[in-house]
């Protein structure tokens, strides 16, 4: 069941960048792609507990700050060692300048 929540203002995220969003004891990462689209994934790397929001966004890749593990943040696909487990992604929509994510 869908559960849309407001994560941030669209302007809070720079182009080709990521920010952290915490909600209900969970942490998420909100991305803005170079094409100005928004995406959301779990906030922690699936390899070890590191905040992806401290990492580097390059095109459609988020690189973890701890071991440089790479994911496609649009699909959640793990792109190779040291990350082997895909990242959970969440539906995103932008309404009235607010980034909404479906955590349901």
List interacting residues with other proteins (CB under 8 A).
17, 47-49, 54-56, 58, 63, 65-68, 70, 79, 81-82, 84
State in angstroms the smallest separation of the CB of 84 from other proteins.
6
State in angstroms the smallest separation of the CB of 68 from other proteins.
5
State in angstroms the smallest separation of the CB of 95 from other proteins.
26
Cβ distance to other proteins smaller for residue 14 or 95: 14
CA angle 104, 77, 54 (to 5 degrees): 80
What does the alpha-carbon distance between residue 53 and residue 30 come to, in Å, rounded to a whole number? 8
Both tokens of 1, joined, read 């069941």
| Cβ contacts of 95 within 8 Å, gap of 6 or more | none
């Amino acid at each position: 069941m869908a559960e849309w929540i407001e994560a941030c203002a669209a302007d809070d995220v720079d182009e080709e960048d990521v920010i952290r969003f915490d909600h209900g004891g969970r942490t998420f990462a909100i991305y803005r792609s170079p094409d100005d689209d928004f995406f959301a994934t779990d906030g922690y790397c699936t390899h070890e507990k590191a905040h992806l929001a401290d990492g580097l966004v390059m095109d459609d890749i988020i690189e973890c700050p701890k071991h440089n593990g790479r994911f496609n943040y649009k699909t959640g696909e793990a792109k190779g060692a040291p990350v082997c487990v895909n990242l959970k992604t969440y539906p995103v929509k932008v309404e009235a300048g607010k980034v909404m994510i479906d955590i349901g």
